[in-house]
Amino acid sequence: MDDEEHDDRRVARRSNDECRRIANDTKSYYGIARVWPVNIGRILRTGKVLTLRGEKPLIYECVDDAALGVKDAKTEIIDGSIKITTKRAVDVLSSFGDGRSRMTLAHELGHAVMHATDGFVDHRAAGASGTTTLSKLNASESAEHQAKVFASAFLINDLQATELESPLDIATEFLVSLSAAEICFERLQAKQEHAAAAARILEATEKLKAQLRGTEENKKKYLPSMCPACSLTTLFPLGIKVGCDTCGYTGDDPEKGDA
């Protein structure tokens, strides 16, 4: 098993939208739903976290870089508390607004909220992109993929990001990595295009319905009487007389008098 296999594990299936919803719920829990850039360092030092299994104590510890080796950070449960351990360099860089370091910390928070269970340790490898063998094959059940989606949603406000013109603008506004900003930008662009296409289809449908209603309203209302000339029920009022759309008969309505 290669290193990227060790850095991921199978978890309960969650869609990207569900992971983003959980991230937004977490922002509401910390009272930062409308705040950006998110001060992720302060959040991790609050001493608490709302996991999918309820609120738990949160321990945040920075250690010498050598202590974690090739890992930038890890998340685990110790005596019922969630503990996030990170390299001191990651914490320092995050405090200076380094996008990748901030994503790393938000990524670990995602593990804390969604994945922290007894006996498991979730790692964030140095230089990791968040893509593993498992995430390529089954992203919805990949712990790393879910944490990656969570981190982006936790640090980026979609409503504000929609107003920005490029991935670089998003990266600058929210202090995230350019790769995360690019993924967000492409997703929001696709969402806007989908909404525009849906609006065009709805408009075309309404126009067609209006045309059909107009055609229906303009149809001649045929009388129940049978035409005395061709015996078809295609008579229509013609002043005090009636006319037949089929044979051209003009005369009295057979039901009201002699033709």
pLDDT, tens digit, 9 for 90 and up, residues 82-125:
999 999 999 999 999 999 999 999 999 999 999 988 677 786 66
- Tokens at 168, concatenated: 């670089």
pTM of this structure? 0.74
Tokens 């870089």 -> residue? 65
pLDDT tens figures, 165-218: 999 999 999 999 999 999 999 999 988 877 777 777 877 777 777 776 666 555
Query: Kind of pairing, strands 71-78 and 235-238?
Result: unpaired
Q: Measured in whole angstroms, how far is the alpha carbon of residue 213 from the centre of its chain?
A: 37
Q: Which residues contact 257 (CB under 8 A, 6 or more apart)?
A: none
**Comparing C-alpha atoms, which of 5, 240, 257, 258 is closest to residue 131?**
5
Report which secondary-structure segment, H or E, holds 115.
none
One-letter amino acid for residue 202 of the chain: L
Pairing of strands 241-244, 235-238: antiparallel
**Sequence ranges of the domains in the chain:** 3-191, 220-259
In terms of DSSP bridges, do strands 71-78 and 54-63 run parallel, antiparallel, or are they unpaired?
unpaired
Q: Which fold has domain 220-259?
A: N-terminal domain of TfIIb (2.20.25)
